[in-house]
Amino acid sequence: MRHNICVDALVAVAAMVCVACEQVSVDVPAADRPANVHLRIAAAAAFDDGATRAAEPADAWCSRIDVAVYDSTARIVGMQQRSDEAGFGCVDLALPAGSYYVVILGHSSEAAATTTDAGRITFRNNIVTDTFIYADSITIADEAVEEDVILCRCVAKVMFCLPEPLPSDIHAVRFYYTGGSSTLSALTGYGSVNSRQTVVVDNVGQTTYELYTFPHSYTGTLKLTVTALAADGTSMQTLVPRLVAVQQNCISRFATSLFGEDPQAAAACSATVMCDPEWTDTYDYTW
């Protein structure tokens, strides 16, 4: 029986032009074992009533793809692709006959994910970016396997929308939050550890700040603390911690001036800032 953590993840997508597809073998030279698994990857931004609402080539959503194949005992294939390389989103594997678990991740981290353990996939510095996953069992027999696969978004996002940039004396903003996970389980599609996540974002005049986490289930709650930092890294102001409801593939959006004092300006933000329409939903709050 096939096990797929993404609903309808095998729905065919529009044909994608792939060149110079990367081929990976398992301990046997490619000349002796030609590729027999051919996967063409798109990223699905959202699902609506069980049907795919949007699917585009993977490079529209992520800059990296990690592929891992596991047998009954361990990972036997680990490969990476970058969006600036030919053949991005086009994977050919050479696998001997047998049953396997295939995991494909799309993300925009600074480096490849660590996929040694399918139940505890980690990312550099524990920083989570917009992340998509495909995970399914596959059986290799005599015939080659060819599939168009869809990656499903597996993160929740918290967004802060400011009416104007922060004061220039604020060098950076530190977001510290618990209740989510920076480690992903490819067996469930949810977070697998209780993380203490810290994200520091330099103040370069932006009016939007975005945070990501892997919820432990479809819905969850984060405890979030926001701190303004001076150039020397010392705290200038810390806001009272807040409980933030999050949901996989949804945005929790706050209209706020953060460290400002004009509540009317903060309230006006949500009327002018748009979110990615392909997310399942957006919930607006005032900080």
Question: Same domain for 210 and 129?
Answer: no
Burial 191-227 (b: 16+ CB within 10 A, else e): bbbebebebeeebeeeeebbbbbbbbeeebebebebb
Within a domain: residue 209? yes
Of residues 48 and 193, the one with the higher pLDDT is 193
Taking the CA atoms of the chain, what radius of gyration do you get in angstroms?
21
Does an H or E element contain 265, and which? helix 263-268
- Distances 207 to 36, 88, 197 between C-alpha atoms, Å: 48, 32, 22
pLDDT at 6: 53
CATH number, domain with residue 224: 2.60.40
d(CA 241, CA 225): 4
CB 281 within 8 A of CB 245: no
Within a domain: residue 227? yes
Question: Same domain for 242 and 139?
Answer: no
Question: Same domain for 75 and 148?
Answer: yes
Question: Same domain for 44 and 105?
Answer: yes
Confidence of residue 286 (pLDDT cuts 50, 70, 90): low
Question: Same domain for 85 and 135?
Answer: yes
The residue from 101, 133, 153 where one domain ends is 153
pLDDT at 59: 86
Range of the domain at 169: 156-286
pLDDT at 84: 93
Question: Same domain for 199 and 234?
Answer: yes
Going by C-alpha positions, the residue among 132, 99, 134 that lies closest to residue 212 is 132
The residue from 114, 138, 153 where one domain ends is 153
pLDDT at 282: 74
The residue from 131, 153, 175 where one domain ends is 153
Contacts of residue 254, Cβ cutoff 8 Å, sequence gap at least 6: 158, 159, 160, 161, 284, 285, 286, 287
Whether this model's pTM surpasses 0.75: yes
Within a domain: residue 12? no
Contacts of residue 271, Cβ cutoff 8 Å, sequence gap at least 6: none
Cα 259 to chain center, whole Å? 29
CB 101 within 8 A of CB 115: no
Question: Same domain for 125 and 161?
Answer: no
Confidence of residue 176 (pLDDT cuts 50, 70, 90): very high
Of residues 13 and 93, the one with the higher pLDDT is 93
Q: Does the pLDDT of residue 16 top 60, yes or no?
A: no
Does an H or E element contain 41, and which? strand 37-48
